[in-house]
Structure 1
C-alpha cells in the first residue's frame, strides 16, 4: 500500500522558493532545505528530485507569480503608457524598500549566479525576461496607436531598454544605500517615453 504524503507539496515548494530567493542556489544546502521545509531528505527527492530540480521548479513558481503581477499591470484598460511607467516605478520602489531590496529578483540573481554555466536555469531566466519584454512591447505599441507615445519612438527598442533597466534596478537595489540613485535612474529612463 502506497503511503500518502504527510506534507503539502505546494507549501513545501513555496518554502523552497523563499529559501533559494533569500540565499541563492549555491549557498542553500540540502540540509538547509530539509530544515526549512520541515520534511525529510527522502521526501524531497521523491517529490521534487534533486536540489537542482527543486531549484528549477522554484524558478517556475517564481515566474508564474511575478509574471501574473506584471501581466495584470500591463493588460489593464487604462492608458498603456501610464501602466508602463507604473511598472518601472514599482520596480524602483521595491528595490529601495528594505524588506524587498535585499532579495532582488530570483531571475536576475540566477542569471548572475548560474546563468553562465547552467543552461536549464539560463533558459528559465530568458523566458522570464522575454515575457516582460513582450508585455512592455505590447503596451508601448498600444500607447503608440493611441497617440501616447511620440511617433519617432521604437516600441521594441524601448521595451528592451526598459527590461535591461528593470534588471539593473534589481541588482543596484541589492547593494546601494542610496534610494535616490535608483529613483533618479528610473525617472530619467521614463523621459524617453515623452
Structure 2
C-alpha cells in the first residue's frame, strides 16, 4: 500500500489532481483500476492519501534538517538549503494549495494537521536561535515562523517557475538575513 501511494505521489506532484487520469495512476501504482477503487474509493481518495504521505515525509525531513546542526540557526539554514536544492521538483503540498485553496475541507484538514507540526518545530528552533543570539530579540516568533513557511513555498514556486539556482539560493540568503 505504501509503495502504491508513493507512486501516486510522484504522478500527482508532476501533473496535479486535475491533470492526473485514473489510467496514469494505475500504470504508476502497478495495480488494476478496480483495485484502485476498492482500496481508495476514487481518485480523490488516493489524492488525499498521497498528500498525507508526502506531507509526513516532508515533515520528517524538515524536522531532521532543523535538528541536524549544533546551532539552531544552522539547522534553519540546512532546512532552507535542502528546500532550495530540491525545489525544481514539484511540491505536492504547495501544488494542493494552489490547485484547491480552501475549497476542499478534507484537504484543508490534512494540510492543517501537517502545518501545525511544522509550525511547532520551526518555532522551537527559532526560540533556540533567539536564545543563542542568532535571531534578533525584537522579532516575533509567530511572524518569523509564518515568514519561514512562506519562504519555503516561495522558493519552491520560484524554482518551479524557472528561476535559476543563483536566484533560488539568493532567496535562502534573504530569508536568513531576515532573522537578524
Q: TM-score, normalised by structure 1?
A: 0.85
Alpha-carbon separation, structure 2, partners of 1:167 and 1:130? 16
1:109 corresponds to 2:95: yes
Structure showing greater Rg: 1
Q: How far does residue 149 in structure 1 lie from its aligned partner after superposition? A: 2.2
Alignment match, 1:135? 121
- Describe the SS at the equivalent of 2:150: helix
Deviates more, 1:82-91 or 1:128-137: 128-137
Q: How does 1:52-131 map to 2 (within 5 A)?
A: 52-76=44-68, 78-95=70-87, 101=88, 103-131=89-117
Aligned residues: 180
Alignment match, 1:192? 178
- From 171, 186, 190, give the equivalent of 2:157: 171
1:104–1:173 CA contact under 8 A, matched in 2: no
Q: How far does residue 143 in structure 1 lie from its aligned partner after superposition? A: 1.4
Structure 2: segments with no counterpart, 5+ residues:
none
The structure 1 segments of at least 4 consecutive aligned residues displaced by more than 6 Å after TM superposition are: none
Q: TM-score, normalised by structure 2?
A: 0.91
Q: How far does residue 76 in structure 1 lie from its aligned partner after superposition? A: 4.2
CA distances 1:90-148 after superposition (whole Å, capped 9, x unpaired): 212222xxxxx1x3211100000122422222232333333322211110111122333
> Alpha carbon RMSD of aligned pairs, Å?
1.7
